[in-house]
Amino acid sequence: MTNSARSGAAMASDKRALRKRGRAFRLNSVKRRWQLFLFLLIPVVWVIIFNYVPMVGVQIAFRKYKIRDGIWGSKWVGLAHFIKFFNSYQFQRVLINTIRVSLYSLVAGFPLPIVLALCMNALTNQRYKKFVQTLTYIPHFISTVVMVGMIVQIFNSTTGLYGRLGMIFTGQRPDDLLSQASVFPHMYVWSGVWQGMGWSSIIYMAALSSVDASLHEAAEIDGASRFQRCIYIDFPCILPTATILLIMNAGSIMSVGFEKVFLMQNSLNLSTSEVISTYVYKVSLTASGNDFSYGTAIGLFNSLVNMALLVLVNFISKRVGETSLW
């Protein structure tokens, strides 16, 4: 046997020995920490049963589903429902409306909780700080139905605050904002920002609580103002948290909430308020639609786009800022 053959056999033997030791080490690690793995087993089983097992039903997106035939007995039609959606005259409108509202919500709603958290952290009066925090958290606990009811009552052009102020300042009844298609995205987004801004700032406040106080003391000695300390100390400390949340928000950019849009929707603003979630409801769950396969295909398309956006934004973040979900 040549020297090269002997060295190759020795390397192969070493690799097998390393793999064997690695397996033994992992097995011993599991035995020593079996309580932790037992706790880990509970959420894993939960996810498998309630998240992955129901995904078997996704296949009705590729079938002509009929209740009496069941999932497995329904006829296989392949990508027919997807092609039907892409060729539909509603496709472009609902896609544009969904992207418009989602991007608008992200651009308007993502930076404001960061600004609010930085401002809260800068307050020195603890009583005033707690009062403002409570005031900004309260809207989060208002239900969607009550929230939309408040919007309708306030912006009613006849009996609402908006209508009464219009009569006082102009002497005539103002235009009905709720029926104007161009106003719907602004009303939807900014009411959501008002409702969720305080609650979303909690995670940034938690991140700011871990900032080393000695950094602020050193900056004060060097003559830095409070604003400069916010920009050069506080903001960099919460930047990794903000990046992770931005990635997660970008991954759900196609998921516009159904309830609020549906409650604010009417026949006059339908051109901008018809999003994918409300369209799926109308074509698959109402008596006039009742096409479960078509609705499932649209929902699957929506989920795949969200997943692709999540992977893309995570990849960009990892390459640019070295912060990512995985």
CATH number at residue 148: 1.10.3720.10
The residue assigned the tokens 């409702």 is 195
In a domain, 66, yes or no: no
Residues 8 and 150 in one domain: no
Tokens of 95: 């896609």
Q: Are residues 129 and 51 in the same domain?
A: no
Average pLDDT, the chain: 84
CA separation, residue 76 to residues 20, 72, 233 (Å):
47, 9, 59
When pLDDT is averaged across residues 75-93 and rounded to a whole number, the result is: 90
Q: pLDDT (tens digit, 9 = 90+) per residue, 3-59?
A: 555 555 555 565 666 676 667 667 777 777 777 778 888 888 999 999 888 888 888
Number of domains in the chain: 2
Q: Which pLDDT score, from 0 to 100, does residue 82 have?
A: 92
Q: Which of 156, 177, 182, 193 is nearest to 273 (CA)?
A: 182
**206 shares a domain with 163:** yes
In a domain, 65, yes or no: no
The reply to whether 124 falls in a domain is yes
Co-location of 47 and 135 in the same domain: no
Tell me, yes or no, whether 74 lies in a domain.
Answer: no
Are residues 179 and 297 both part of a single domain?
yes
Q: Is the Cα torsion angle 227, 232, 234, 239 positive or negative in sign?
A: positive
Q: Are residues 162 and 50 in the same domain?
A: no
119 and 256 share one domain: yes
pLDDT on residue 194:
92
Q: Are residues 45 and 96 in the same domain?
A: no
72 domain residue, yes or no: no
Quick check: is 206 in a domain?
Answer: yes
Residue 4: predicted pLDDT: 56
Asked, for residue 225, whether it belongs to a domain, the answer is yes
Please name every residue paired with 76 in a beta bridge, in sequence order, or none if there are none: 63
- Residues 304, 187 share a domain: yes
pLDDT of residue 10: 54
| 41 and 107 co-located in one domain | no
CA distance 226 to 156: 43
- The counts of H helices and E strands in the chain are 18, 2
- 128 & 8 share domain: no
- Taking alpha carbons only, the member of 53, 76, 73, 81 closest to residue 293 is 81
Which DSSP string corresponds to 13-63? HHHHHHHHHHHHHHHHHHHHTHHHHHHHHHHHHHHIIIIIGGGGGGGGGGE
**Domain limits at 285?**
79-321
Residue 289 pLDDT exceeds 70: no
Higher pLDDT, 139 or 173: 139
Residue 95 lies in a domain: yes
Write down the pLDDT at residue 8: 54
Question: Do 83 and 171 share a domain, yes or no?
Answer: yes
Nearest CA among 252, 274, 284, 306 for reference residue 57: 284
